[in-house]
Amino acid sequence: MSDTRDPAAPTAGPDSAHAPPETVAECDPAEGLSGDPAAGGSHDSATGLSHDPATGHPRPPRREFKARGSFVTRCEGCNLPALNCLCPYRVQAECRARVWLLTHPLEHHKPTNTGRLIRDVLPETEVFTWYRTAPDARLLALLGDVRYAPFVIFPDDHEDYAHRVVGMDRVMAEVHADKVPVFIILDGTWRQARRIFRKSPYLAELPVLPLATERLTRYRLRKPASAAHLCTAEVAVELLRQAGDTEAAGILDDYFDAFNDSYAASRRHEKLEQPTPAMRRLQARGASAD
């Protein structure tokens, strides 16, 4: 989130209405492709090529990753440096609304991407990798499911889609009509999110919900262009809170703070000797759930 050429984090608030909810380029470099389709590719050891999970087309192997962070030992569960693993503080929550992440493929490789936190806390979260010429078939099917009322989270800064812009009152109206509200968050840099929004025909008729909030970011892993620029997890927290899912919003907010503190300490090569207040709240919630 320190990419000064493309300073886009998920945003909200009156003085940042022209930037969308999204994750910006992180300080830690992307890791290589893995065998996990959710990570953006699969590796064929026989050919040395990786395959695009959406099209199946082979990709040339990436160069060996030697940038900062490449030799950090990471927890396989939370992807954080093992020095301050986040797994002991993972608590799942139920909520009425759903979050679907439409994620740029490069975002899967960024360990500081906060979209993964949403799926950790809300197990019914869907994560789709965006490819312009190969839309995810499961996403298309879900968009056609009458049980759901999907909303694209994006700012209302262009007249050409002004007729699609709605407010949270529309979300609550769908709830009263026994629909499940779905928040579709475009997970990428500002340039990537704009491209996803403009180049995805299946999003073209969906209502657009701008996030209006006075919240200032607490994300410390990069320097934002503005304190009103929120990361993906913070955007989800505010959407859930405004939609009435306050308990889920609170758990995700605490989990985000735990992630923030754990990662920041690991960057300093420091071990957190005592749980932070957010971590203690998560531990208490986990104990009560057991």
Q: Which residue has the tokens 């500081």?
A: 112
For residues 158-180, average pLDDT: 96
pLDDT at 223: 64
Q: Could you tell me the pTM of the whole model?
A: 0.77
For residues 179-195, average pLDDT: 92
pLDDT at 83: 93
Q: Tell me how far apart the alpha carbons of residues 88 and 75 are, in angstroms, rounded to a whole number.
A: 12
Is residue 64 scored above 50 in pLDDT?
no
Query: What confidence tens digit (pLDDT) does each residue in 18-53 have?
Result: 344 433 333 333 333 333 433 344 444 444 455 655
Phi, psi of 177 (to 5 degrees): -90, 15
CA 110 to chain centre: 11
What's the sign of the alpha-carbon dihedral 115, 117, 119, 125?
Answer: negative
pLDDT at 265: 92
pLDDT at 34: 38
Query: What confidence tens digit (pLDDT) does each residue in 214-232 have?
Result: 887 787 776 666 666 788 9
Between residues 96 and 63, which one has the greater pLDDT?
A: 96
pLDDT at 241: 96
> Domain coordinates of the chain in residue numbers?
14-27+87-289
What's the sign of the alpha-carbon dihedral 49, 192, 93, 121?
Answer: positive
Band of pLDDT at residue 82, cut at 50, 70 and 90: very high
Contact, 203 vs 152, CB < 8 A? yes
Query: What confidence tens digit (pLDDT) does each residue in 89-127 have?
Result: 999 999 999 999 999 998 887 888 899 999 999 999 999
